[in-house]
């Protein structure tokens, strides 16, 4: 008989969920350092929008190239917490470099280091979550994780904006460093034995082995996953540049405070994401992920049209509300859908990495495309073009609905069989 002070196997995992949620709250600055403020920081130091976009693209490409190999490493490792700790340290240090020098190559190195380090954190946290709550609990816990993450983004952005306005960009870096240290403490509070390494990879028993599919094979040989990745690439090709370009447009034309304005855009978007991530969690439970993703794709063309017509300080409200809708829904739906599709394969995190790589290609190209378009023909047309890229996402999602809807369906009561990969 179990002693009164002994815990059931489920109890340590439940206890560890609190530091997991705290990790998601504090890790925003650890993921990107001072990334959201880089554009206006460089603009204040005489950089032009085209070169700012190019630097962001270089960093994005570097991070994109690392997501698939990092996902494979997360699948293989039995110390998933290290893939949060080490990147966090690297991100904080890389962000500090920009404060010391705004030389082109110094900034380039900083953005590459930040992006590469940040690429490891998402698959690591996904793997940790799966290992703690298993497939059946993942949708709900991931929804809670994302709500905490967006709340952390909102609080961090508000504090960064205030600190930047009052004390300058050095204070923004100090806050990012503090958040990073707290994040590391949180992940260390998660007991290593609370993470089931088999469940974290998407296999049902510790004796199961991953199949022969690896790397990008997991993407190209699984049709629903490939369509998802392509649709996300189109979406992020338009979406990634929208916020930094809108911030540059308003700051340059209206003379708004750079740090304060960027903080406002983030606060509005992240506040919306808290609500939409919880909504996405419940909608996915009732209807599956297909409708969740459709709504997210449809939000971008509307956002682009509003941004083109409202380059004003108050225009940030509807523009960023729609950003919160699109990104908030995807923050829950994409990891959950990848985990759903690849359940039983042992390749969930490498699959997550492969999808992030393709999506990241679109996101990485977006700042450069948006920046040079804006520099050539103006911001309004750039916003319309960027919003129009999401029409490709909608075409794929609607056109392949017959393939996608079964994969996006509600999670069955019993673990699903591993998907069949085409030869």
Whole-number Å distance between alpha carbons of 324 and 318: 10
Please check whether residue 125 lies inside any domain of the structure: yes
Q: CA 161, CA 332: separation in Å to the nearest integer?
A: 27
Find, among 292, 299, 291, 293, the residue nearest to 318 by Cα. 299
The answer to the question of residue 337 being in a domain is yes
According to the model, what pLDDT value does residue 88 have?
76
- Span 40-85, pLDDT tens digits: 778 777 787 678 878 877 877 787 787 778 777 877 777 888 888 8
CATH number at residue 254: 1.20.1250.20
- Whether the pLDDT of residue 8 is over 60: the answer is no
In a domain, 269, yes or no: yes
Q: Which residues lie closer than 8 Å to 235 by C-beta, 6 or more apart? A: 296, 297, 300, 326, 330, 359, 362, 389, 390, 393
Kindly state whether residue 338 falls inside one of the protein's structural domains.
yes
Residue 411 binned pLDDT confidence (cut-offs 50, 70, 90): low
The pLDDT assigned to 14 comes to 62
- Please tell me the predicted confidence (pLDDT) of residue 32: 55
Report if residue 422 sits inside a domain: no
What pLDDT shows up at residue 259? 63
**Global confidence as pTM:** 0.73
- Structural domain for 247, as ranges: 15-407
pLDDT at 295 over 90: yes
The token duo for 224 is: 């629903």
pLDDT digits (tens, 9 = 90+) for 165-217: 788 777 877 887 788 888 889 999 988 888 887 777 766 555 544 444 455 67
Report pLDDT for 329: 93
For range 375-402, the mean pLDDT: 91
10 in any annotated domain? no
Q: Flag whether 62 is in a domain.
A: yes
Q: 249-285 pLDDT, tens per residue? A: 777 766 566 666 767 777 888 888 889 988 998 998 8
In a domain, residue 183? The reply is yes
* 416 pLDDT above the threshold of 50: no
Number of domains, the chain: 1
Q: Which of 364, 383, 365, 366 is nearest to 249 (CA)?
A: 383
């Amino acid at each position: 008989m179990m002693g009164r002070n002994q815990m059931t196997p489920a109890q340590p995992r439940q206890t560890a969920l609190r530091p997991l949620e705290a990790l998601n709250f504090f890790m925003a600055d650890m993921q990107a350092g001072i990334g959201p403020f880089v554009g206006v920081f460089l603009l204040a130091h005489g950089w032009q929008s085209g070169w700012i976009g190019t630097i962001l693209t270089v960093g994005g490409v570097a991070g994109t190239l690392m997501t698939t190999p990092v996902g494979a490493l997360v699948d293989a490792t039995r110390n998933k917490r290290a893939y949060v700790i080490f990147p966090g340290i690297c991100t904080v240090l890389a962000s500090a470099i920009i404060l010391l020098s705004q030389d082109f190559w110094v900034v380039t190195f900083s953005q590459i280091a930040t992006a590469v380090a940040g690429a490891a954190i998402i698959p690591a946290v996904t793997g940790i979550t799966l290992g703690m709550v298993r497939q059946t609990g993942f949708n709900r816990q991931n929804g809670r994780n994302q709500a905490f993450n967006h709340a952390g983004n909102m609080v961090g952005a508000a504090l960064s904006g205030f600190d930047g306005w009052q004390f300058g960009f050095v204070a923004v870096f100090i806050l990012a460093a503090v958040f990073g240290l707290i994040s590391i403490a949180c992940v260390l509070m998660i007991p290593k034995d609370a993470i089931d390494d088999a469940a974290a990879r998407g296999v049902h028993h510790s004796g199961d082995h991953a199949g022969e599919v690896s790397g990008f094979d997991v993407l190209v040989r699984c049709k629903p996953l490939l369509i998802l990745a392509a649709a996300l690439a189109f979406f992020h090709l338009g979406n990634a540049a929208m916020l930094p370009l809108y911030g540059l447009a308003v700051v340059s034309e209206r003379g708004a405070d750079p740090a304060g304005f960027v903080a406002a855009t983030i606060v509005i978007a992240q506040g919306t994401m808290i609500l939409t991530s919880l909504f996405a969690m419940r909608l996915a439970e009732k209807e599956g992920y297909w409708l969740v993703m459709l709504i997210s794709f449809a939000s971008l063309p509307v956002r682009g049209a509003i941004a083109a017509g409202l380059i004003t300080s108050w225009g940030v409200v509807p523009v960023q509300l729609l950003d919160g809708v699109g990104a908030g829904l995807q923050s829950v739906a994409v990891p959950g859908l990848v985990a759903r599709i690849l359940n039983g394969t042992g390749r969930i995190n490498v699959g997550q990495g492969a999808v992030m790589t393709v999506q990241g290609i679109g996101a990485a190209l977006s700042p450069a495309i948006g920046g040079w378009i804006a520099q050539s023909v103006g911001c309004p047309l750039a916003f319309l073009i960027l919003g129009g890229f999401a029409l490709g996402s909608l075409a794929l999602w609607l056109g392949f609905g017959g393939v996608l809807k079964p994969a996006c369906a509600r999670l069955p009561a019993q673990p699903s069989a591993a998907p069949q990969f085409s030869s």
